A and B are shown apart, each in its own frame.
Chain A
């Protein structure tokens, strides 16, 4: 988010919406601790706080911080192949994604 919001603001916003649970990826203990601190003392944001945060973020409303909507960066390589989308092993993005998923880029083996 490049300094636009803090982790606390973004998590509190998400947890303040009418959802059952907010699922968040936590790849190291520090992140778990940070999120627990927010969750254990959780008070939902008020309407005004939520509106204020939305308005502050509106200038980034072009999708630059939601690449999972605006690009296929976050799409599963196996699903990409099944749908006939390009899987370009030369691209940095693809290599990073395949490394992250420990997927070798080959079709799924039954």
Chain B
């Protein structure tokens, strides 16, 4: 994942007004939604695992997780390769005694390697997360054109998903990627019984290599649960450039037909900002969604605020290495 993500917080107006809103909105719950056909209910906002590894201290990571749960968030994302295991280790510690209150997801990072590699990663993830099972286990970073072929090859990662489910080590399975709707559709063309699929969904996406228009309807047709990510362009590029506010960006993503919008929150400030949106969340209506898409289209249609699709910037070092691509240092963006 991105090695150059930066912290940003959008101002939310004067402090006094913010505090008043906080008091009032603290009463309102974060909506829960069904996770596809799994029978689980998940909060409309989820905690991204990558950024749990970027907080300044373990203590802050613990507080983010604890406050999120107290606020009604029950969806937690992670991946075996985030910060060389630090994200999983921190989340495992932060969830001590709270594991049963959450829907815990992590991802397996084979990048084309075989089932045995995947099964070893599963054991490591379980150990770091201090649990005997995952609620969701997804194939991570399906972003190279031949990844679906490698995943579905004999002894490929897909067999690990099936086996782990049979062994009761994972309840549900899926995949994720940030690159190209065509790669997602190629994964779906195998008709494997995926429970979840994760993808970038934001107000820029609809105008550029769009997951919203090409993949999301297919998932909803099949009853596969959609998990949204990159509501803020990955690192807030669209916000920092003034094309959209953080609140607009998050509201747009959460208004789409997904189970959860996973958001990276590397500080309590970002968590609080997101909670303001999520508490008592009212979805944008169709006209509002269209208006926002139209407003940002001139920035959206060349991919400048979706660098995870248009450049190599967000492609992880391990995946690049295994696919024979230049390192992040050699080919940043």
Contact = CB atoms under 8 A, between A and B. Distances in A.
Interface of A: 58-64, 67, 70-73, 83-86, 88, 91-93
A-B CB proximity, top 5 nearest: A62-B144, A61-B146, A84-B304, A71-B312, A64-B324
Interface of B: 144-147, 149, 241, 299, 302, 304, 307, 310-312, 323-326, 329-333
B257 to A, nearest CB: 30
A84 B323 contact: no
Contact of B304 (A67, A73, A83): A83
Given A83-B304, A84-B241, A62 B333 contact: no
Nearest to B243: A84
B241 A64 contact: no
Given A72-B311, A84-B302, A91 B325 contact: no
30 contacts: A58-B146, A60-B324, A61-B145, A61-B149, A62-B144, A62-B145, A62-B146, A63-B144, A63-B325, A64-B323, A64-B324, A67-B331, A70-B312, A70-B325, A71-B311, A71-B312, A71-B331, A72-B333, A73-B331, A83-B304, A84-B299, A85-B302, A85-B307, A85-B310, A85-B311, A86-B307, A88-B332, A91-B333, A92-B329, A93-B330
Contacts of A58: 146
Given A59-B146, A61-B146, A73-B331, 13 more contacts: A62-B323, A64-B324, A67-B325, A67-B331, A71-B331, A72-B310, A84-B299, A84-B304, A85-B310, A86-B311, A88-B333, A93-B330, A93-B331
A84 B146 CA distance: 30
Contacts of A88: 332-333
Contacts of B146: 58-59, 61-62
A61 B146 CA distance: 6
A64 B112 CA distance: 14
A15 B324 CA distance: 27
A16 B190 CA distance: 33
Nearest to A80: B304
Contacts of B304: 83-85
B5 to A, nearest CB: 14
B236 to A, nearest CB: 14
B145 A63 contact: yes
A64 B325 contact: yes
Nearest to B179: A70
B320 to A, nearest CB: 9
A48 B330 CA distance: 38
B147 A62 contact: yes
Contacts of B325: 62-64, 67, 70
A67 B325 CA distance: 9
A60 B146 CA distance: 8
A83 B307 CA distance: 12
Contacts of A73: 331
B283 to A, nearest CB: 30
Nearest to A92: B330
Contacts of B312: 70-72
A92 B326 CA distance: 12
A42 B154 CA distance: 41
Nearest to A65: B324
Contacts of B311: 71-72, 85-86
B332 A91 contact: yes
